[in-house]
Structure 1
Amino acid sequence: MALILVISIVLSFVIKTFFFKAFYIPSESMVPTLEENDRIFVNLMVPRNFALERGDVVVFKDTKGWLPPSSEGGQNWFQESLEFIGLLPDTSQQHLIKRLVGLPGDHVVCCDAQQRITVNGVALSEPYVNPAEIPRPVPFDVTVPAGKVWVMGDNRNHSSDSRYHNAQEPGNGFIDLGDVEGQAVVIAWPLNRLGALGNYPSTFSSVPSPK
């Protein structure tokens, strides 16, 4: 019995380290795709072994100071141990989750005459954006540098994303590829929301490669 437990812990740690990792959603920035308190699994092989794509939902480290400092002491040692080996989702407030809209080299603009985001001159139809509210346009015109990505929340009026950090802040709203933990692929909890997370390839299929 003890051997089975040890093997289970080791397998869980290996899976969490190299393949999939659980995360907890603490905010409403990705509604309706993700609800507050959802638990998700993130594919760690993207972008480590497989390239990111426009439309991917990505989890990334907050190295640019978008979030306030985390408060220590929220968990006991047992919870921290289970989180470390992968048996509990990562509840760290120092990770964020958004949808990838611009890859390196992409020219991303808000907005055209119909208030649509454009990528490399092509207007996007974005079915994942929260239909409950008309997004307030936040004008920007950026070209994504090499090694960076541009991210936005699906709940546009309630997401402090690349648009709101596109000024004199560190990174100018861009996220380093090295800070991307992985691609969110599955909602695991609650069970009534169990399902895969898509990246809406039809939304970006007409977008040309950057010049």
Structure 2
Amino acid sequence: MPENDRLSVCLDEINLEFVEREATPKLLMKLSIQLQLAGLSLSNTVSFLEVFGIDRVRSTVHNWVHKADLQPESGRCPNHIAVDETVIQLDGEQYWLYAAVDPNSNDLLHTTLETTRTNVIADQFFAELREKHDVDDAIVLVDGAVPLHRACEKHGLDFRYERHGNRNNVERVFREVKRRTTCFSNCFSNAEAETADEWLRSFAFAWNQLI
């Protein structure tokens, strides 16, 4: 798909039904949401709006992103899935990010942010993944994490230990998430875990549209 078409599709799928009395033109709101999720800091997104004579604060743009409630598309049927977990820092606290990626398209299929790492959480992650996508016939690529192995076995999923290869796709996603949460701390400073979890789902939506 040409890059211009990707951008148009991304804008079209941003729903602004939450808007009641917002004076900002909806196209600029959509562009601001897209730019922020694609990598622009809140401060620079505010500066972008100023070019068009729109004076908004960072918290306003932050609220637009969260109220849009963007989600990665469901109903995928991948033949391989790379699944991993990694630690990210949120306002000085440690959290576990779980993610599933289609290595053929690099699309993020599902993410969740948890305060700890257990067999129960891994099981829940795969249950949610199966609800969203048709993955029962897919080969799940995992590293040596025992909770992931156990969860695959519990759900009857065919999994394969792979340290590199197609699993590099999920590592690429994790690197970008860590870059965003480190460089753009104004998205995550003093944020609740639930807010960060919502942002990560929105990030997944934008990632799938723009990669």
Q: Note whether the superposition's TM-score is higher than 0.5.
A: no
Higher helix share: 2
Q: How high is the TM-score relative to the length of structure 2?
A: 0.29
TM-score, length-scaled by structure 1: 0.29
